[in-house]
Every structure is written in structure tokens, then in C-alpha cells.
Amino acid sequence: MPADQLYVRVPAQGPAGGAPQRISMADIPDLAARLASGQPLHLQAINLHRFDEGFAAALTAFREKVEAEIPEVADPRTSMTIGLFLSSAGVVAPFHADHEHNFLAQVVGDKHMHLFSPADLQLFPSEARESLACDDIHVLHTYSPAAEERGAVQYLAAGSIVYHPPMGPHWVDTGKQGHSLSVSVSFVTPSVDRVLLLHKFNRRLRRLGLAPSPVGQSPSADGFKYAVARSMRDLLRIGR
């Protein structure tokens, strides 16, 4: 696979440990041994449907199933991807958020997913949402143990699957018994694209010294901002 589709990370300790260190696959000649020994290591392969016919077929079949639950997925503007997560025992994915609809299926080993509401502006402030939309910054720095009271824990054993919605903060604790293998399927629907564009527009307003209302707080304000942002999209690079 191309190097930009394969990520190797050495994770920090705990959900508040911050972004993991990214290293080149070429610098880990003993990958299998490190995984077997339990040394903390996380491998992510993305866009597998572009390189393997089997994954492409699986993604298409899964999309057809999801359309029954999320009709917007059937929209031709929806994009989708499938990837793998391979982790050594005990690896923690830090507290972060993603913008897509995501389904995570556990294949080998187990995980505990700590899930929080996408509407929680204390855990996921507007400025952090703008950083995700504009700069692809996923890791959040608002976690504290007290936050667990506002979340829910989903245990994933081999053969189970969990859905978490766009903009939902979460962190993941891999089981201690051995390495973990998961498959992730993500969808970016038109409504997700709308939310991202609104956050990008709010970033523009904030940099002009204004204090925009959080996305989702005022439907009328969002409608006006979206109309303006959409008309500007081809004229200005509002993601900067």
C-alpha cells in the first residue's frame, strides 16, 4: 500500500495522553514481534477498497445494509471508506473526535469504547470542532476522569460492532489479553459536509473578531451561514 495510506503510531499513555507519535513502517522491521510482545503499537490502514477487490465488495454490501438505517447514505454525494486497526495489547486511542458516521467491527481481541455525546460543547468546544473541520486535528485536550459520568462504555468482543455518530468524542482501551484487530467503515454524507462547512465558516467569523453561535444552536442562523458559506466555497478557501 502507499505510505500515505498506512499509519504506524506509538501511543501515549491514557485517554489524556495526547496525540500518538507517528513513525515510518520502514523504522519497524520487527512489527510482528513487537505486536506479539505487547509493546504499545498501533497500525492503521485506510482506503482498503482502493487496493483490494474483496474489501471493495464488502464495503458496497455494507453500504446497502446501512442505507436502511441512515437513508442519507444512499445519496450519490456520500463518500465511504473501509480500514483496519491493528493494536498490541493495552493500547489506548486518546480522547478524540471524528467527523464521519463510523461503524467499528471487532474481529480479534476486545476493546472498551468510551463514547460521549456529540452535543457536549464542554468536552468538544466549538473551537476544537473548527480545528477538526479546517485542520484535521482530531485529538481533544478536554478529558478528565470526571467526564466519564457523562459518557457510556461499550464493550466490543470479537464479532461485535458499534456505531458512533459524527462529532462524537470518544476514546478506546484495547483489551489486555492480546493484540486487537478491528475493521472500520466510515461515511461522509451531505449533512456531514454541511456541518463541516459551517464550522469552517465559523472559523472565518472568529478570525474577524466575531463570536459566532455554535453550530446546531440556532437553525435559522445555521441556515443563513450555510447559504453564505456555500456561495463563497468556490471563491474563497474558507478552510484556512
CB-CB contact of 69 with 189 (8 Å): no
In terms of residues, how long is the chain?
240
**CATH code for 3-188?**
2.60.120.650
Q: pTM to 2 decimals? A: 0.90
Report the pLDDT value the prediction gives residue 166, as an integer from 0 to 100.
96
List the one residue out of 57, 130, 40 whose CA is nearest residue 94: 40
The β-bridge relationship of strands 111-115 and 170-174 is antiparallel
Q: DSSP letter at 83?
A: E
C-alpha cell at 194: 454541511
Dihedral sign for Cα atoms in the order 187, 193, 48, 115:
negative
| pLDDT 10s digits, 23-82 | 877 777 787 777 777 678 888 999 999 999 999 999 999 999 999 888 999 999 999 999
The residues spanned by each domain of the chain are: 3-188, 193-232
Beta bridge partners of 40: none
